[in-house]
């Protein structure tokens, strides 16, 4: 999330009652989680496993619960509970805002767009020109739709991410991270019925121009989908996945978190993607492999009983 305007790190430190080591004169431009950090961002870390990764990331300011060496130009904001400090900053800049109208007064809707009765358009939503939003669609706060976008009935754009801070030394193990990211849907996208497109935790979930989605598809938080994708029904994509341009995902595929799929990839139906996929290839199976390799493997598996009988002399 970008702050409305850059803010002095000394003001952030005062807000969360932190002690600052390093660049006390720094200016923060946003807040992010580790997978999406950029220069100028705040990030939090509360587990020794990730201390070094966060400190050496692109983040300029690290909310942390221990002292450490500070790289030049960066600052550590030391607090007892970094997660709670992160939540306090997010809720300060992106507080809960209720809406009693089906179309919020702060929403912006372009010329030629039609919103069916019973669709809900949240606060600060932007919808471009010539869009069609069908009944029972929910487009939640701060989401952005381009021009010529079609959203079929029952779909939810901008639902909360499935992202929790886990600690097994407290009574409630999993505490939800408040979301401050958005969903951005570019021009000429069509999304089918009863899909769920989660907002980013602190960055954006993006659906690229010209992408078409079938019914009952789930896209997780902070996932970036390129242009002209084709997604068949009941596919589930986890969070922080980068999918290239021209990718086709056939029905009932499952795609694991924090991986990349190259341009012009095809994933055949009911496949499970657990790692990065190279551009321009067709994949199949669980775990997904190049389709030609997987099909040869299946042929050999079918031959095992006959081979076994021959080896045993039957």
The domains of the chain, with CATH numbers, are 2-93 (3.40.1390.10), 108-292 (2.160.10.10)
Query: Distances from the Cα of 143 to the Cαs of 27, 114, 159, 188, in angstroms?
Result: 27, 17, 10, 16
167-194 pLDDT per residue, tens: 888 899 999 999 999 999 999 999 999 9
Q: Does residue 3 carry a pLDDT above 90?
A: yes
- Can you give the C-alpha Rg of the chain in angstroms? 23
pLDDT of residue 104: 98
Q: Does residue 141 carry a pLDDT above 90?
A: yes
Residue 43: burial class (beta carbons within 10 Å; 0-12, 13-18, 19+): buried
pLDDT of residue 169: 87
Phi, psi of 21 (to 5 degrees): -115, 135
pLDDT of residue 314: 60
Residue of 266, 144, 147, 250 lying closest to 197 (CA atoms)? 144
CA–CA distance, 148 with 204 (Å, rounded to integer): 20
250-308 pLDDT per residue, tens: 999 999 999 999 999 999 999 999 999 999 999 999 999 999 998 888 888 888 888 88
Instruction: Assign 311 a pLDDT band (cuts: 50, 70, 90).
Output: confident
The mean pLDDT of the chain is 95
Least confident of 46-55, 147-156, 188-197, 233-242: 46-55
Instruction: Please count the CA atoms within 13 angstroms of the CA of 60 that sit on its side-chain side.
Output: 18
Give, in degrees to the nearest 5, the angle at Cα 15 between 180 and 178: 20
Catalytic residue among 81, 92, 124, 221: 221
DSSP letter, residue 35:
G
Q: Looking at the whole model, is its pTM more than 0.75?
A: yes
Is there a catalytic annotation at residue 35? Answer: no
| Cα 301 to chain centroid, rounded | 38
Instruction: Assign 43 a pLDDT band (cuts: 50, 70, 90).
Output: very high
Percent above pLDDT 70 for the chain: 100
Contact (CB, 8 A) for 90 and 44? no
């Amino acid at each position: 999330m970008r702050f409305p305007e850059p803010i002095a790190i000394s003001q952030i430190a005062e807000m969360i009652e932190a002690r600052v080591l390093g660049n006390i004169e720094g200016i923060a431009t946003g807040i992010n989680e580790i997978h999406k950090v950029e220069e100028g961002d705040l990030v939090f870390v509360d587990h020794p496993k990730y201390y070094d990764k966060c400190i050496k990331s692109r983040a300029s300011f690290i909310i942390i619960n221990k002292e450490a060496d500070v790289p030049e130009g960066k600052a550590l904001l030391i607090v007892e509970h970094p997660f709670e400090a992160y939540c306090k900053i997010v809720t300060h800049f992106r507080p809960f805002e209720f809406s009693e109208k089906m179309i919020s007064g702060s929403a912006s809707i372009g010329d030629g767009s039609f919103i069916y009765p019973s669709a809900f358009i949240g606060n600060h939503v932007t919808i471009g020109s010539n869009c069609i939003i069908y009944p029972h669609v929910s487009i939640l706060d701060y989401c952005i739709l381009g021009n010529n976008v079609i959203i079929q009935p029952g779909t939810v754009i901008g639902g909360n991410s499935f992202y929790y801070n886990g600690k097994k030394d407290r009574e409630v193990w999993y505490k939800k991270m408040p979301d401050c990211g958005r969903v951005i849907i570019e021009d000429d996208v069509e999304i089918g019925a009863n899909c769920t497109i989660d907002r980013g935790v602190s960055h954006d979930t993006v659906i690229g121009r010209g992408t078409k989605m079938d019914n009952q598809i789930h896209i997780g938080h902070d996932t970036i989908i390129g242009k002209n994708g084709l997604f068949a029904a009941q596919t589930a994509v986890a969070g922080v996945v980068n999918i290239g341009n021209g990718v086709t995902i056939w029905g009932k595929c499952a795609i694991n978190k924090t991986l990349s799929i190259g341009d012009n990839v095809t994933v055949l139906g009911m496949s499970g993607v657990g790692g990065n996929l190279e551009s321009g290839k067709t994949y199949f199976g669980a775990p997904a492999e190049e389709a030609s390799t997987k099909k040869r493997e299946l042929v050999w598996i079918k031959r095992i009983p006959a081979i076994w009988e021959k080896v045993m002399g039957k």
